[in-house]
Amino acid sequence: MLEKDILKVLVTREEISQIAKDLGQQLSKDYKDKFPLVIGILKGCVPFMGELVTEMDIHLEMAFMDVSSYHGGIESSGDIKISMDLNISVKDRHVILTEDIVDTGRTLKVIIELLKYRGAKSIKVATLLDKPAGRVVELVP
């Protein structure tokens, strides 16, 4: 059973659902009539992003990127690799990046700079967890 492999639960399923609900309602207000592009950073974002977009009561579009800086380890190497890029343009779009856990923020910073270069109208980050070393607030004006 999976429960035997888990040492400690940091965030319960109920807490994740509540975070997704609260954030989804806020994003629905913030992006009303803006048709945002919600980009998931694979693969960890999928469960959180699924709950989040379910709670968003607006028209939106979804896309995914597979980006890594871990390369088999448990600490970020700082070397960012995009193994799957977007198949949709971000030009003049409001973008919401979804991530499960922000560690150092280096990977997000690279993605944000790339999306700015590609002409995104605005970029915000929605994350379930932000490790103490990661500060999304500093990355997004």
Query: Both ends of the chain: CA-CA distance in Å?
Result: 44
Q: Residue 17, SS3? A: helix
Q: Find residue 42's DSSP bridge partners.
A: 66
Neighbours of 12 (CB within 10 A): 9
Residue 27: both structure tokens together: 């994003």
| Catalytic residue chosen out of the listed positions 30, 85, 100, 103 | 103
Kindly report the CA angle at 14 between 43 and 68, in degrees rounded to 5?
Answer: 15
Please state the length of the chain.
141
Nearest Cα to Cα of residue 115 among 63, 76, 75: 63
Catalytic-residue membership of 100: no
Tell me which residues are annotated as active site.
103
